[in-house]
Structure 1
Amino acid sequence: MNEPARTTSSLAIASLVSGVLGWTLLPLIGCLVAVVTGHMARAEIRRASGLEGDGLAVAGLVLGWLGIGMAVAAVLMVVAAIVFFGGLAWLSEMH
């Protein structure tokens, strides 16, 4: 009848909070922290019995990886634009 109290992993909570911060106030740093703490939380939850929060950790991981992916895509688009317009400028000077 008396079941041990289940607690939520503080790393999982930190991962989710950092993931949200990565989309609002701390774009890159928040996403990196969300990914690192999310992986640490999932490992901690698997090792310890009676520890919850896997869904929170996964949500933090998803937010973190999406934020990192969007940042990388933005950098690649800027580089592509520079290369494209630089090529156009070079071609216009050729004539």
Structure 2
Amino acid sequence: MEEQNHQRQAETNGKAIASMVLGILSLVIPYIGFVLGIIGIVLAKKSFNEIEQNEQGGRGMAIAGLTTSIIGTALYALLIIILIIGISAFVSY
């Protein structure tokens, strides 16, 4: 009989995948991107804990999800602030 070496690949964490997808969507989808970015940040933080505890894969995806979610959230927060300042300046005249 042949010896079979089965190396078990670490299972990829689902929250890391979801975080990455939401982070990318937060950059692409206008206005809703702010909310998607916040959800992506929360999922990325949770996935870091699960990856460490359960020895799962997907740490790179979690990092990418966290990064893109932060960027998307910051961009839309800045857009909302500029919009509020613009509206308040328009109304005051």
Alpha-carbon distance in 2 for matches of 1:68, 1:42: 20
Residue aligned with 1:8, SS? coil
In structure 2, what is the equivalent of residue 9 of structure 1? 13
Q: What's 1:33 paired with?
A: 39
Q: Deviations over 1:7-65 (max 9, x none)?
A: 1111101110111122223412321221111111011111122x111110011011111
2:80 paired residue among 66, 75, 82: 75
Report how many aligned residue pairs link the two structures.
87
- Contact kept? 2:26, 2:36, Cα under 8 Å: yes
Q: Which residue of 2 aligns with 1:52?
A: 57
- Normalised to the residue count of structure 1, the TM-score between the two structures is 0.75
Identity %: 23
Q: Tell me which residue corresponds to 1:93.
A: none
Runs of 4+ in 1 over 4 A off after TM superposition: 83-87
Is there any run of 5+ residues in structure 1 with no aligned partner, and where?
90-95
- Please list every run of 5 or more consecutive structure 2 residues that lacks an aligned counterpart in the other structure: none
TM-score normalised by L of structure 2? 0.76
What is the RMSD computed on CA atoms of the aligned residues? 2.0
